[in-house]
Amino acid sequence: MGDTLAAKILKTHLTRGRYAPGEAITIRIDQTLTQDSTGTMAYLQLEAMDPGNVRTECSVAYVDHNTLQTGFENADDHAFIKSVAARHGIIFQKPGGGICHQLHLEQYGAPGKTLLGSDSHTPTCGGLGMIAIGAGGLDVAVAMAQGRYDMTAPKVLGVELRGALSPWVSAKDVILKVLQELTVKGGVGKIVEYYGPGVASLSLTDRATIANMGAELGATTTVFPSDENTRLYLAQQGREGDYLPLSADEDAVYDEILRIDLSALVPLAAKPHSPDNVDTIRAIGPIKIDQSCIGSCTNSSYTDLMKAAGILKGRKVHPDVSLVISPGSAAILSLLAENGALRDLIDAGARVIECACGPCIGMGQSPKSGAVSLRTFNRNFKGRSGTNDAEVYIVSPETAAISAITGVLTDGSAAAAGLGVELPKIASPERFFPNESFRIFSAPIPPGAELPPVEMGPNIKPFPQGHALEDKVGAEVVLICGDNITTDDIMPSDSRLLPYRSNVPHLANYCFEKIDSQFAARAKAAQAGPLGGGAIVGGDNYGQGSSREHAALAPLYLGIRFVLAKSFARIHRANLINSGILPLVFDEPADVSKIKQGDALVIEHAKEQIDNEIIIVKDTGSGVSYKFVNSLNETEKKMIAFGGKINSIRHEA
């Protein structure tokens, strides 16, 4: 029985354990990336480990999320990250240079390598045939300091592609189709691996789009074979030497298989407020739109923006529509400037903004009240745009561009001919040149040499740390929530809150704000109350979405001791454990409805119970006991026992 590509790469990086689904393994990490909104915490944690030079082949610190700089906070964070990068041989990527995943794809990603990034869309580089995994900042800090990552070996879900895409149908429609089939929790515990004859018809950046949005499936990562298109892309980036042809064995066996005929796909959209709420544009109908945004780490490649520019050339954006373009990298923007496409966009009435995440994370360009906004981004969770009652649809660049002209959601495959719009043919330039003005290399520091100082602004506060497990853990239930709670629900992020990513005490006041504005006050009261802490009850897929460990650190700061849920999303579960908060899975899912807000729960003999397969949590009011599955592996048990990952590492040392 042959190996999948995922298995091949993981096996060559295995440093502990046996590669089989569900096994606890450790892999060697070749590359890391951080971005600024998770990076400040990651670098505070890295400094706490006193690591010396990073142990990876390359570690990059990008600044792309918090670039509005409406006060001193963002700029202070950037300066802090830059100063830490210089102390440990980390490459610093200045704000304005581009979005971390697009830049990493252009400048560093390479077939067969492993990458760990403190951002859930790190799998974008899986388009190049590497294993690229999103994780919490602390896990990435450990990977920088020790060159390793502890994980549970996932299953491998094979997606067989046949045929080729029709005009006006794009990579975005492929991943939307996969999301429609598998849902936002369909990838949990799995690596999604694409294979089959249809793969060759997809360009490298098409593959990157699909791999990027694999994060929305909850998958550990997505991987594509490395083939001639990979070589071509690396050659364009001046990195042909990094090319390595890679694919699954002919007789590879996948744990599950999904088959997609690319030729049968039509333009799709994810309707509000979930990336898996997918329908055909034809079925949704020509709804009036107010905004159209093209960009984000999912769809801001040269080809994506050239397609948009070609569609808009010589036309005007509809008077009722605001069209926003955020290019993925400075290299792409320079090419658009050089070949005239930038002018076509501007002449059509597009608002061209900085090469950064921008509107994708609510950092500006929030639409008007009740607006319909089309976005080529990857998440349309309620309120993420910064406008709570906006209706956000996720679409392809082709759809976003043609709809910006018509002013209504438009299926280009049906409407283009009638409108006289032709889909442009895009010839990729022979060479992309990285913009070196945004990149700062830091030389490794020789042993014994004095380290440059850390620059720390007044908004940067120490990160909260868990405390060792006591024998009796009590908690008042402070919140009951439903299925698919996102980290945007737990720790909202927009232009108002992102400046406080390095100030958890302040940020914590807004924890769960959009779901229950009294949450933080109640949790603080529970922390000061007789049980000394609080508990959260969730449904399925609790904590889906981003990698932000703030969704664990803020609850930790507010005294949350454990989270009870039907199931957890991978990165958030790890972040909870890293913070010393116990994630427990209902043994009997129906029990979720029996627990009420205000119930006083207790885990008796917690130090003993932590080794059991089933953990009993007792309601001290009614005397009823509930059973929870203990899914912790041995390493995770230690982290809970010592009060989080940093404490556990300190104990090992």
- Do 185 and 220 form a contact (C-beta atoms < 8 A)? no
Nearest Cα to 407, choosing from 291, 547, 498? Answer: 291
Q: Does 357 bind ligand SF4 (CB under 6 A)?
A: yes
Q: Does 37 bind ligand MIC (CB under 6 A)?
A: yes
- Do 538 and 481 form a contact (C-beta atoms < 8 A)? yes
Question: In this complex, which beta carbon is closest to ligand SF4, that of residue 262 or of residue 297?
Answer: 297
Among ligand MIC, ligand SF4, none, what does residue 229 contact (CB within 5–8 Å per kind)?
none
Residue 570 phi, psi (nearest 5): -60, -55
Provide the 8-state DSSP code for 331.
H
Question: In this complex, which beta carbon is closest to ligand MIC, that of residue 421 or of residue 571?
Answer: 571
Alpha carbon 204 to its chain's center: 20
Q: Does 361 bind ligand SF4 (CB under 6 A)?
A: yes
Stated as kind and residue range, the H or E segment containing 25 is strand 24-28
Residue 647 phi, psi (nearest 5): -65, -35
Neighbours of 595 (CB within 10 A): 20
Q: Does 212 bind ligand MIC (CB under 6 A)?
A: no
Q: Does 130 bind ligand SF4 (CB under 6 A)?
A: no
Among 32, 212, 546, 647, binds ligand MIC (CB under 6 A): 546
Question: In this complex, which beta carbon is closest to ligand SF4, that of residue 34 or of residue 567?
Answer: 34
Nearest Cα to 323, choosing from 260, 374, 278? Answer: 374
Strands 439-440 and 91-93: antiparallel
Least separation in angstroms between CB 611 and ligand MIC: 32
- Do 24 and 633 form a contact (C-beta atoms < 8 A)? yes
Q: Does 573 bind ligand MIC (CB under 6 A)?
A: no
Among ligand SF4, ligand MIC, none, what does residue 99 contact (CB within 5–8 Å per kind)?
ligand SF4
Q: How far apart are CA 304 and CA 298, in angstroms?
A: 10
Least separation in angstroms between CB 380 and ligand MIC: 12
Q: Does 547 bind ligand MIC (CB under 6 A)?
A: yes
Radius of gyration of the chain (CA): 24
C-alpha torsion angle, residues 367, 373, 379, 381 (rounded to 10): 70
Question: In this complex, which beta carbon is closest to ligand SF4, that of residue 329 or of residue 378?
Answer: 378
Question: In this complex, which beta carbon is closest to ligand MIC, that of residue 37 or of residue 226?
Answer: 37
Q: Does 300 bind ligand MIC (CB under 6 A)?
A: no
Measured CA to CA in angstroms, residue 630 lies from 132, 148, 567, 636, 646 at distances of 28, 25, 12, 11, 22
How many residues belong to the chain? 653
Neighbours of 602 (CB within 10 A): 16
Joined tokens for residue 390? 């906006």
Least separation in angstroms between CB 609 and ligand SF4: 38
Joined tokens for residue 25? 């393994």
Q: How far apart are CA 266 and CA 411, in angstroms?
A: 9
Measured CA to CA in angstroms, residue 246 lies from 3, 109, 221, 237, 609 at distances of 12, 14, 17, 19, 45
Residue 268 phi, psi (nearest 5): -120, 165
Among ligand MIC, ligand SF4, none, what does residue 203 contact (CB within 5–8 Å per kind)?
none
Q: How far apart are CA 382 and CA 482, in angstroms?
A: 15
Among 36, 77, 119, 216, binds ligand SF4 (CB under 6 A): 119
How many residues bind ligand MIC (CB under 6 A)? The answer is 12
Least separation in angstroms between CB 43 and ligand MIC: 14
Residue numbers 534-593 binding ligand SF4 by CB under 6 A: none
Dihedral over Cα of 31, 37, 38, 44: its sign: positive
Residue numbers 285-344 binding ligand SF4 by CB under 6 A: 296-297
Residue 375 phi, psi (nearest 5): -140, 140
Contacts with ligand SF4, 472-511, as mask; x by CB under 6 A:
----------------------------------------
Residue 474 phi, psi (nearest 5): -105, 150
Among 4, 32, 34, 38, binds ligand MIC (CB under 6 A): 38
Nearest Cα to 144, choosing from 444, 423, 367, 511? Answer: 444
Among ligand MIC, ligand SF4, none, what does residue 648 contact (CB within 5–8 Å per kind)?
none
- Do 413 and 169 form a contact (C-beta atoms < 8 A)? yes
Contact stretch for ligand MIC (CB under 6 A) within 114-122, 316-324, 436-444, 572-580? 114-122
Neighbours of 415 (CB within 10 A): 19
Residue type, 17: G
Q: Does 354 bind ligand SF4 (CB under 6 A)?
A: no
Among 361, 490, 574, 646, binds ligand MIC (CB under 6 A): 361
Q: How far apart are CA 398 and CA 380, in angstroms?
A: 18
Among 133, 157, 360, 639, binds ligand SF4 (CB under 6 A): 360
Q: How far apart are the first and last CA of the chain?
A: 41
Least separation in angstroms between CB 330 and ligand MIC: 19
Q: Does 570 bind ligand MIC (CB under 6 A)?
A: no
SS3 at position 522:
helix
Among 548, 573, 638, 645, binds ligand MIC (CB under 6 A): 548
Contact stretch for ligand SF4 (CB under 6 A) within 148-156, 355-363, 572-580, 611-619? 355-363
Contacts with ligand SF4, 33-72, as mask; x by CB under 6 A:
--------------------------------x-------
Q: Does 378 bind ligand SF4 (CB under 6 A)?
A: yes
Among ligand SF4, ligand MIC, none, what does residue 299 contact (CB within 5–8 Å per kind)?
none
Q: How far apart are CA 303 and CA 356, in angstroms?
A: 17
Contacts with ligand MIC, 434-473, as mask; x by CB under 6 A:
----------------------------------------
Tell me which residues touch ligand SF4 (CB under 6 A).
65, 99, 119, 121, 296-297, 357, 360-361, 377-378
Tell me which residues touch ligand MIC (CB under 6 A).
37-38, 65, 119-121, 361, 493, 545-548
